[in-house]
Amino acid sequence: MISRRDFLWTGAVPLAGLFGSQPPSHRIFLRMNGGAAHLDTWDPKPDAPTEIRGPFRAISTNVAGIQISETLPRLARHADKYMLVRSVYHSGETDHQTGLEKLPNEAKIAATCARALRLVEQGEREVTVNIGGAAAWDTHGWGNFPTLTSWRTTVASAFDHDCSALLENLHQRGLLHSTLVIATGEFGRTPRINPQGGRDHWPHCWTVMLAGGGVQGGQVYGSSDATGAEPRDQPVSIQSLTAQFT
């Protein structure tokens, strides 16, 4: 009897085309708690006004035609290993409950990407890494929340280093093809920077990174509009996306 997971993976829904023909042997979920700002990571808008594009410039990657933010310089050198889904949205409430809580019950929590790699090498199928603690990507800029400029040198820098090392190590060990790596937060962040130098919650559009597990790297699926406010084409709900790997 075919399982629900295999049923979804073999093309029962359109999104199955993003993945390989067979479910991967392992999955590593990099949870960017608090919601990463897509305009300041995976989906920069270099031609937008300053109050939208933010303080960071767009940089080229090792794949022609794909740019990401300068906050992720190491990951720019590994764009051939991942796909960016730039048209993800969530149509429900704007809190932190978006369906990402529906991880497999058997998932193990790994403190670091390095430990996640060791667990996969030991045969673990499902591993979750909480990137940056409880809400490190929550860049409101007011109170105890970081601004974009301070966030760049803390959680963004650590993620850039650890995620790129994870992809490279999986590749070198011959495990990337059989291991799906998913990196996302609960939502995106507002296109316009707030007066405190941060961005607030924005469930209407953001980017998810997918690597390995049969995913074809070096490509972008979907796009956001000129300000990163809404999907421009090929919209993907986070619920339909997470259904592929939960």
Q: Does residue 2 surpass a pLDDT of 50?
A: no
Average pLDDT, the chain: 86
Long-range contacts (CB closer than 8 Å, 24 or more residues apart) made by 9-17: 9/244, 13/240, 13/243, 13/244, 15/236, 15/240, 15/241, 15/243, 15/244, 16/244
The verdict on residue 195 lying in a domain is yes
Chain-centroid distance of CA 225 in Å reads 18
Q: Residue 179's pLDDT is what?
A: 96
> What pLDDT digit, counting tens, does each position of 8-59 carry?
333 334 565 677 778 899 999 999 989 999 999 999 999 999 999 999 999 9
Q: What is the arithmetic mean of pLDDT over 148-164?
A: 93
The verdict on residue 123 lying in a domain is yes
59 lies in which domain range? Answer: 22-231
Q: Does residue 97 surpass a pLDDT of 60?
A: no
The verdict on residue 9 lying in a domain is no
CA distance 19 to 214: 6
The verdict on residue 246 lying in a domain is no
> What pLDDT digit, counting tens, does each position of 98-119 carry?
555 554 444 566 779 999 999 9
CA distance 89 to 204: 5
The verdict on residue 117 lying in a domain is yes
Q: Does residue 192 surpass a pLDDT of 70?
A: yes
Domain holding 151: CATH number?
3.40.720
Confidence of residue 244 (pLDDT cuts 50, 70, 90): confident
- Please state the domain count of the chain: 1
Q: Residue 96's pLDDT is what?
A: 52
